[in-house]
Amino acid sequence: MESAMEKHKVLALKYRPQNFREVFGQEHIVKIFQNAIEMKKIGHAYLFTGSRGIGKTSIARILAKSLNCDSGPSITPCNTCPTCREIKDCISKDVVEIDGASNTGIDDIRELQKELLYLPSPGKNKIIIIDEVHMLSKNAFNALLKTLEEPPERVIFVFATTEPHKVLPTIISRCQRFDFKRIPVEIIIKRLKEISKAENIKIEDEAMLIIAKKADGGMRDALSLMDQVISYCVNSITVQNVREIFNLINTEVFNTFMQAIYERNPQKIVNAFRKKIDDGIDATEFINNYLEYLRQFLLVKLNIDLPDMLPNEKKIICELVNFFSEDEIVYIINHLIETKNSLRTSSAPELLSEITFVKLAKISDMKSMKAILEKIQSGKEQSIEIPNPRIITYTKETECLISKIEEKNHQNELNIRVESAEANSTTIQTNTENNLNNSEKVSYRLENEVLKREFSNKKSELQQFIDITESVRIK
């Protein structure tokens, strides 16, 4: 029978893996430990690295049980003998867990060294687990190092850290290192399925997908999110519930956005936005959701496979993507990131967002820097008309093109010069050597932050800027 306590335990604790079979997504590590236990080749110091809630402590405890189980050592500890139970309940004298984050001083390490003087129980091993080992002070590290140099018999250290680069190399070199992986969405879903079955909870597949994605590779996070959802919906969970709880916006809204941008319809886009605001969605939340959507959009455009996308959502995005160039998508993303940053300090977040959306709806007026440069390069075009408002994007492709122009420049085929006219405007001037009359001038105003390249004296310099919003004209 499940005790009342057990019933109210959070899922992450209730479903801590108690044997190797229950560890998800870390097969590469499980396998090595199983072999080591079977071959009785256990090292005396291990370093577990990886982000939060992906099984480091769990595996350390399973290892302890495997080694100390009364009917062990075994790769399938019984979990019922007194030793296994003590380890499970964290009261075993032979398994010491120390939190490096709160025991950072040398005194704590002295305490640990004293602890080491107590031998493990007869026939057992002493397993010392130090969490967040990188937080130990330098002195504490050194004291620990001494212990590591002459490891006491039957003592096994397991160090865990989320920040391996902060662990001293002298410690790392004395350990066998295991890099834990973030757990893929589909594996998190598998675990969520198991748990919801055990808990008698009905949950829609798409709802699980949203939770698994939001957990961002962490199983503990996934289970905590699940707790949150359960406390709201009890035992039947729909996608709609989950969207509401996490303040997620339906993908359809963003599909509408993309359509409106393509149709150059600012009214449509602003109305769709206002509707969400009226529903109580906050502007920052909205932009964050939109960015997440655009990430998928861009990946689809680049033909990068997304395992964590709903099939029907993918289908629509695949269609919409055809209406946009890579440059345009990057442009939209850049604009939103900029808006997101400005929102932090803005007292009128909705207004600011609306202005951005209206600008986005003008995207088809956008002329790519690439197109302009191509014309310059060809040396044929004398003037290029660019409609208002004139927007330019600048991407990797453009970068390549510039290199080509630069090369030509070098061979004296083309002269490109940049002059600063006003404080925030720059002039690019180009001359073709063989026809000096055919000199062209491009001037544009710059608003901070896109990549800007300056050509002067046949040298070029890269500067940072993101957007060029004012006029571009070749005179």
Ligand X SMILES: Nc1ncnc2c1ncn2[C@@H]1O[C@H](COP(=O)(O)OP(=O)(O)OP(=O)(O)O)[C@@H](O)[C@H]1O
Question: Where on the chain is the footprint of Zn ion (CB under 5 A)?
Answer: 69, 77-78, 81, 84
Nearer to Mg ion, 53 or 379 (CB): 53
Binding mask 29-58 for Mg ion (x = CB under 5 A): ---------------------------xx-
Distance separating alpha carbons of residues 347 and 359, to the nearest angstrom? 20
Quick one: 221 or 328, whose CB is closer to Mg ion?
A: 221
219 binds, among Zn ion, Mg ion, ligand X, none (CB under 5 to 8 A by kind): ligand X
Based on CB atoms, which residue is closest to ligand X, 23 or 242?
Answer: 23
Largest CA-CA distance found in the chain, in angstroms, rounded: 96
**Which partner in Mg ion, Zn ion, ligand X, none is near 120 (CB below 5 to 8 A by kind)?**
none
Q: Which does 81 bind (CB under 5 to 8 A by kind): Zn ion, ligand X, Mg ion, none?
A: Zn ion
Beta strands in 94-197 (DSSP E): 95-99, 126-131, 155-161, 176-179
Q: How far is the CB of 133 from Mg ion (least distance, A)?
A: 11
Cβ distance to ligand X smaller for residue 15 or 297? 15
Cα torsion at 302, 303, 304, 306 (round to 10°)? 120
50 neighbors 162 (Cβ within 8 angstroms): yes
**Rounded Cα distance, 469 and 475, in Å:** 18
In the complex, least distance from residue 36 CB atom to ligand X, rounded to whole angstroms: 18
Give bridge partners of residue 362 from the DSSP assignment.
none
Compare residues 218 and 379 and give the one whose CB is closer to Mg ion: 218
Angle at 159 between CA 155 and CA 161, to 5 degrees: 175
- Please give the Cα distance from 320 to 297 (Å, whole number): 9
* CB of residue 86 to ligand X, shortest distance in Å: 18
Quote the tokens at residue 121: 């129980």
Looking at the Cβ atoms of 91 and 304, the one nearer to ligand X is 91
Binding site for ligand X (CB under 6 A): 12-13, 15-17, 23-26, 52-58, 131, 160, 162, 183, 191, 219-220, 223
CB of residue 239 to Zn ion, shortest distance in Å? 42
Separation CA 27–CA 29 (nearest Å): 5
Q: How far is the CB of 218 from ligand X (least distance, A)?
A: 7
Query: 16 vs 88, which CB is nearer to ligand X?
Result: 16
Of the candidates 412, 331, 413, which has an alpha carbon nearest to the alpha carbon of residue 369? Answer: 331
CA distance 129 to 96: 6
Residue 11 CB, shortest distance to Zn ion, in Å, is: 24
In what helix (H) or strand (E) does residue 444 lie, and over which residues does it extend? strand 435-445
Residue closer to ligand X by CB (options 57, 415) is: 57
Task: Kindly state the smallest distance separating residue 175's Cβ from ligand X, in Å.
Answer: 16
Considering CB distances under 5 to 8 angstroms, the limit depending on partner class, which of Mg ion, Zn ion, ligand X, none binds residue 16?
ligand X
Nearest-angstrom CA–CA distance, 193 and 201: 9
Residues 53-72 that bind Mg ion (CB under 5 A): 56-57
* C-beta separation of 40 from 73 below 8 A: yes
Least separation, in Å, of the C-beta of 389 and Mg ion?
53
Type of residue numbered 150: E
**353 three-state secondary structure:** helix
**Cβ proximity of 260 and 361 under 8 Å:** yes
Residues that bind Mg ion (CB under 5 A): 56-57
